[in-house]
Amino acid sequence: MRIAVVVLCVLCVPTPRVVRAQSITAEAAVTGGLSTDEVSAAAVQLRAFGDVTHEIRFFGEAAWAGRSLSEDDHESDSFNAAYPYTNRVQIVEAYGERIFRPHAGLIGVRAGRFRTPFGIYNASDHAYSGFLRAPLVRYEEYSPLSNTFLEHGADLVVGIPSLTVEAALAAPADIGEVARGSGVDAVIRVQGYVGPFIAGVSHMRTPNSQLALDASGRTTVTGIDLRWMHGGVQLRGEWVTGQPSGAATTTGWYGDALIHRAFMGPVTAVVRIERLDWTDAHSAEEEYLSRQTVGARIRLTNTVVLQVNALHETGDDEYLPRALDVAVTWTVRKP
């Protein structure tokens, strides 16, 4: 194929200052993964996003995902970071959004179906935390958080870029194996940054998960997160505490380093330690789960990303103590 471009030299067009509204973009991502945890997984995500007008945007995502365990009663949280493994197509997010910029201020209004804006699990860091197993998330009765928590409702952000308050009032609309009961939930998050530091505090009050020992009650969970970044090194820490099922209390934390220095080229490395402690309301016995992870995300080409995680877990005999997870994602985007 011969490709030609033509230049016409005439007097016009000064400096190419560029600000323009974006047209609709469609994106497809296909992921396949294998784990020595005797798990294989595959997922397809279709997204469409763009500007309805220059001020109003939309975002929609549908996903299909399936996961195969070696045995039906085998427990594993491998590849649980993002997808609802229901083996059918589901709408993940579908919302419209408008952002106002009065003077130095910032006001954002979002309505529709969106991820729960708690901590750094929400979409603001969702891709970044996608090192195959999200920290602090377990799909168990003691876990107050899930990566597949979704809301039907409205979300408001008010502030200035360096300090914002975000509040969501919605009804749970979760997908996947952990679904909260019906009702109204509220999430509030305050986030600020100074120089390389970003700090946030989140609080959520929501109906209990149906996995909870008391599925009719309410979950309250509070979290504090702190991030620091310089020269391609990001340090993150997050602490959460909550009552996922009445008298039971779960407290967890993690710290990690995400490293992407110039000499590393297409490789981003992660090192993470995390721990969850909880009390069972019935036995009043303290239990814990601890995990250490070393991994990397490698951009093989502009469209193919490889993720590798090696991890060690203790505290819950249902999980294998060591595992190696590998996943490849191919993404194509059509503007």
Partner 1 sequence: MRDAPARDTVVWLDAPNAPAAGHPPARVVLDQRNLTFIPHVLVVRVGTTVDFPNNDRVFHNVFSFRDGKRFDLGMYPVGALRHVVFDQPGLSRIFCNIHPHMAAYVMAVDSPYFARADESGAFTIAAVPAGTYTYHAWRPGATAELTGTWTSTAGPLQVTWP
Q: For residues 189 and 169, is the Cβ–Cβ distance under 8 A?
A: no
Q: Does 322 bind partner 1 (CB under 8 A)?
A: no
Q: Contact letters (x/-) for partner 1, 84-113, by CB under 8 A? A: -------------x-x-x----x-x-x---
Count, residues near partner 1 per rule CB under 8 A = 68
Q: Which stretch binds partner 1 (CB under 8 A): 8-16, 205-213, 285-293, 316-324?
A: 8-16
Instruction: Report how far residue 179's alpha carbon sits from residue 6's, in angstroms, rounded to the nearest whole number.
Output: 57
Give the nearer residue to partner 1 in terms of CB position, either 102 or 182. 102
Those residues whose C-beta lies under 8 Å from the C-beta of residue 284, and which sit 6 or more positions away, are none
- Of 233, 36, 13, 10, the C-alpha closest to 132 is 36
Under the binding rule (CB under 8 A), the answer on residue 28 touching partner 1 is no
- Shortest gap between Cβ of 178 and partner 1 (angstroms)? 24
The H-assigned helical ranges of 102-213 are: none
Query: Is the Cβ–Cβ distance between 77 and 65 less than 8 Å?
Result: no
For residue 167, state whether it binds partner 1 (rule: CB under 8 A): no
Cβ within 8 Å of residue 264, ≥6 positions away: 232
Decide if 208 contacts 219 (C-beta within 8 A): yes
| Candidate list 65, 134, 137, 157; residue touching partner 1; CB under 8 A | 157
Residues 210 and 181: beta-carbon distance below 8 Å: yes
Q: How far lies 258's CA from each of 30, 123, 125, 293, in Å?
A: 24, 18, 12, 12
Kindly state whether residue 297 participates in binding partner 1, applying the rule CB under 8 A: yes
Pick one of 36, 299, 314, 321: the residue that binds partner 1 (CB under 8 A).
Answer: 299
Half-sphere exposure of 182 (CA within 13 A, CB side): 0
230-259: contacts with partner 1 (CB under 8 A)? 230-232, 234
Q: Examine residue 194 and tell whether it contacts partner 1 (CB under 8 A).
A: no
Give 52-111 as a 3 state SS string.
Answer: CCCCEEEEEEEEEEEEEECCCCCCCCCCCCCCCCCCCCEEEEEEEEEEECCCCCEEEEEE
Does 12 help bind partner 1 (rule: CB under 8 A)?
yes
In angstroms, give the least distance from the CB of 135 to partner 1: 16
Closer of 12 and 284 to partner 1 (Cβ): 12
279 binds partner 1 (CB under 8 A): no
Q: Are 170 and 153 in contact (CB under 8 A)?
A: yes
Q: How far is the CB of 187 from partner 1 (least distance, A)?
A: 15
Tally of residues, the chain: 335
What x/- string results for residues 45 through 64 when contact with partner 1 is judged by CB under 8 A?
----xxx-----x-x-----
Query: What x-and-dash track marks residues 111-150 binding partner 1 by CB under 8 A?
Result: ------------xxx-xx----------------------
Q: Which is nearer to partner 1, 117 or 242 (CB)?
A: 117
* CA dist., res. 199 & res. 197, Å (int): 7
| Chain contacts with partner 1 (rule: CB under 8 A) | 1-20, 22, 25, 27, 49-51, 57, 59, 97, 99, 101, 106, 108, 110, 123-125, 127-128, 157, 160-162, 164, 191, 193, 196, 198, 227, 229-232, 234, 260-262, 264-265, 268, 297, 299, 302-303, 305, 331, 333, 335
